[in-house]
Amino acid sequence: MTYVLHNRLGSGGFAIEAVLELAEIPYRLELIESAPGSHLPDGAAAMNPWRQIPVLECPDGAVVTETAAILFYLAEKHGSLREGPNLYVEDSAAFYRWAVFLSVNVYEGFLRMVYPERYLGAGSADVSALRKAASARIGDAFKLIEDLLSETQFICGDRMSPVDIYCAMLFSWHRKRDEFPRCIALTERVARHPLVAPVWRKNFDHWLDREWADG
Ligand SMILES: N[C@@H](CCC(=O)N[C@@H](CS)C(=O)NCC(=O)O)C(=O)O
């Protein structure tokens, strides 16, 4: 049995698929037919009661959800995520720290923007205030990453790690990019990597800016 990655095009499973490619780990992709930004169909609850993707089914039958947890799990099982030719974790404290940081502050922020009804009390109409605050908070988080990238080329050092792939995906979803030139450069490096570019195009070309992967 091999890994089975459940995703839908344009969604968070991109980061896992790109990492599996870079780490040269065999997997099968199961795509859910659903538009990015919509709710997942009822059947999704069978694999993850929280009804979110990505979901990774492992060869031993384990099921892992939550993007950061999937990255940690794969890094524990496969040296090619930590010390491989395409991915390298120079600083494991940074790896754990920034992967969780991205999950709780950035990914969760996007969910506030996309699914505001989940975060507002019943009857509240202040969707635009919530979206504005979430976008500002996401910007604050990217400012920290931007500052970090003034010292190293990538988030965990001078080599690309799984956390860079995760960050590039999230940054490509952010609309206010001009003040983050280092995050732009990081995203371009990730999107244009020969092993990542086909996955990037497959996921994002139809609804996000094309320029990242076209280089
Ligand atoms: N905390 C989760 C968030 C995953 C997530 O929000 N996935 C989105 C797709 S990008 C999703 O499943 N959306 C459907 C929904 O929330 O109903 C993670 O880090 O993996």
Distance from Cα 52 to the centre of ligand 1, integer Å: 4
The domain boundary, picked from 14, 49, 81, lies at 81
Structure tokens at 38: 């919509």
Question: What is the model's pLDDT at position 39?
Answer: 87
Q: What is the pLDDT of residue 106?
A: 98
Kindly report the average pLDDT of the chain as a whole number.
92
Residue 115 CA to ligand 1 centre (angstroms):
10
Query: Is residue 70 within 6 Å of ligand 1 at its C-beta?
Result: no
Percent of the chain with pLDDT strictly greater than 90: 81
Best residue for ligand 1 mutational test, from 50, 111, 204 (most atoms within 8 Å of Cβ)? 111
What pLDDT, on a 0 to 100 scale, did the predictor assign at position 173?
Answer: 92
Same domain assignment for residues 72 and 96: no
Range of the domain at 115: 92-193
**pLDDT recorded at residue 209:** 54
Final residue before a domain boundary, out of 51, 81, 111: 81
pTM: 0.95
**So what's the pLDDT on residue 205?**
76
Instruction: Collapse the DSSP code of 56 into the 3-class scheme (helix H, G, I; strand E, B; otherwise coil) and give the result.
Output: strand
Examine the domain organization and report whether 55 and 108 are in the same domain.
Answer: no
Helix (H) or strand (E) holding 31: strand 27-31
CA of 53 to the centre of ligand 1 (A): 5
Q: How far is the CA of 164 from the centre of ligand 1 (A)?
A: 19
Question: Which region among 65-69, 74-78, 119-123, 151-155 has the lowest average model confidence (pLDDT)?
Answer: 119-123
pLDDT at 213: 54
Q: Are 47 and 6 in contact (CB under 8 A)?
A: yes
Q: How many domains does the chain have?
A: 2
CATH of the domain at 73: 3.40.30.10
Give the span between the Cα atoms of 85 and 143, in whole angstroms: 29
Atom 17 in ligand 1: residue holding the nearest Cα: 39
Reduced to 3 states (helix: H, G, I; strand: E, B; else coil), residue 207 is coil
Write the pLDDT tens digit of every residue in 95-117: 999 999 999 999 999 999 999 98
Residue 43 has pLDDT above 90, yes or no: no
Check pocket membership of 67 for ligand 1, CB cut-off 6 A.
yes
Taking alpha carbons only, the member of 181, 78, 175 closest to residue 132 is 175
Which of the 8 DSSP states describes residue 34?
-
